Amino acid sequence: MAAIATMSRLPFSLLLIVTLISLPSCISSHQGSTTRPTGFKTQLINRNSVQSPFYNPKLTRSDRIKASVLGSFARHNYIESLISKKVSPSTSLGEFPPLPREGEYIMKYFIGTPSIETYGILDTGSGLIWLQCQPCVNCFHQSKVQIFNPARSSSYKQLLCKDRKCYQLGGIDQCSKDYKCEYHAGYADKSYSVGAVAEETITFRDVYGVNNTAIEPVVIGCGHNNSFTVKGEGIPGIIGLLRNRMSIIDQFNFPKFSYCLGMFDEPDRPGYITFGDEATISGYKTTLVPVPQHITPMYFVQLEDISVDGIKLSIPKGTFDISANYPRGFIIDTGATFTFLNKTAFDMLVSNLSEKLVKLKKVADPNKDFDLCYRMGTIITTQFVPKITFHFTGLDMDLPSWNTWLKVQGNIYCLAMYPTNSYSILGNFQQQNFDVGYDLVNNVVSMSYGYCSIDD
């Protein structure tokens, strides 16, 4: 039986990053508009794609799955810690990055003047663009991509403590001895990151790799002392999309954004992310649930029920409601690979599927990662697999079989979800090939199924 996700049973310091092959990084200068853009569209790259500098050809499918499992549990623990204020005790806004070892999807961008190429994990659970910087007092291993050195950039400017933007991040509590703005982020596994809060120019390239969109000035976190435990090659940083004052969506008043995540089993096919005028809010919509003031404003939505082949499970009312006193609610997240469901709902789903799949041979997961597994032949077909639907308020999310069942070995497929006694999370495996749109003016999320074509 796979473990239930709880803070007490799972170690936070799970190791996800593995040894990766060497690819050259380069310094380049790219021209772009210096006016504030109204929107842009850029590629999302699977970290295991050959297009990624972090691609490792020695990784087997089993290695990838195990890394995603460990990363999902680490991510779940991070989210619970963040919401319960066990992360970044010196900062109440949750502005600073999660450990840079979780996440399947990365964005390429350019930073500084002259600019260098770098990468950040797409993260709806943090609210700042953050990256590792020189000089490094203590840094995790980063050799595939050049570590940003702000001393070589003419556009880099560390904020002063008296700056309003520094005050928004904690004011005098974040000051260095020379009255420059700093951040100090602590984590549940006792790791930490310390660095400068600064303004810098960043540039994104469009999905065709032709045109560039330059944005300046952008508030960033520049980490000089990072105690994260990362095996092998670390990804340089984070692109935070949390709803707060320091995220890119708020700094540049992008009222909406959307993304489409490529297939887990087709890592070389890129997805995309769009901002502002380029973002599409299409399909049915569900309302973002308001959160109590003391809870980090993650993307909570209301899951009302789950159905199997059109028949609702009648999950007890309130199972996915946000509670001010208990870790409960349903979050859409890009960082966790696999979905976590409240244990009551998960058990009901597994029981129902077990009844409907009696003609298939139930087997144990050979890797002991998942609870419910079957021999299904080489191709999953709707002839044998019931359709699972998540019923959000105003929106029904029909999950294709390849968003539900993960091939773990040979002809063995497992339900790619976990039970939890804490927050439920919609992982990126279940979101693959959905265009997920966030309209932050009207506080709604839309979902429409497609094939993540960059030409859409």
Predicted pLDDT of residue 68: 93
Eight-class DSSP state of 53: T
- The conformational region for residue 103 under phi > 0 = left, psi -120 to 50 = alpha, else beta, is left
Residue 135: per-residue pLDDT: 94
Place of tokens 């569900």: 286
**pLDDT confidence of residue 26:** 34
Phi-psi region of 211 (alpha: psi -120 to 50; beta: other; left: phi over 0): beta
pLDDT of res. 282? 84
Residue 317 CB partners (closer than 8 Å, separation 6+)? none
Query: Please, where are the H alpha helices in 24-111?
Result: 61-83
Dmax over Cα atoms in the chain, in whole Å?
Answer: 71
Element (H, E) at 346: helix 343-356
Q: Based on the number of CB atoms within 10 Å of its own CB, is 455 exposed (0-12), middle (13-18) or buried (19 or more)?
A: exposed
Residue 189: the pLDDT is 66
Q: In whole angstroms, what is the distance from residue 127 CA to residue 241 CA?
A: 5
What averages of pLDDT result for each successive group of 10 residues across the chain (456 residues)?
47 28 32 63 93 91 92 88 60 47 84 95 86 91 92 96 78 72 75 88 87 87 83 82 82 91 92 92 92 81 97 96 86 95 98 94 94 82 82 97 93 96 96 95 94 74
- C-alpha to C-alpha distance for 390 and 384, rounded to whole angstroms: 19
Peptide bond into 114 cis (omega under 30): yes
Return the pLDDT at 337: 95
Q: State the Cα–Cα distance between residues 396 and 286, nearest whole angstrom.
A: 9
Six token digits for residue 5? 């996700």
What's the pLDDT score for residue 100?
52
pLDDT for res 91: 44
Structural domains in the chain plus CATH codes:
39-276 (2.40.70.10), 284-449 (2.40.70.10)
pLDDT value, residue 192: 78
Please check whether residue 213 is in contact with residue 207, taking contact to mean a CB–CB distance below 8 angstroms. Answer: no
Residue 295: both structure tokens together: 């809870």
Say what the pLDDT of residue 208 is: 80
Question: Strand locations in 206-342, DSSP E?
Answer: 212-226, 237-240, 256-260, 271-276, 284-287, 300-301, 303-308, 311-312, 330-332, 339-342
How confident is the model at residue 14, as a pLDDT? 30
Token readout for 386 is 């019931």
What is the rounded distance in angstroms from the CA atom of residue 263 to the CA atom of residue 246? 30
Q: What is the pLDDT of residue 413?
A: 94
pLDDT of residue 96: 52
3-state secondary structure of 37: coil
Which residue in 32, 55, 40 sits closest to 272, CA to CA? 40
Active site residues: 123, 333
Q: What is the pLDDT of residue 227?
A: 80
* Side chain identity at residue 137, one-letter code: V
Report residue 395 as tokens. Answer: 């929106």
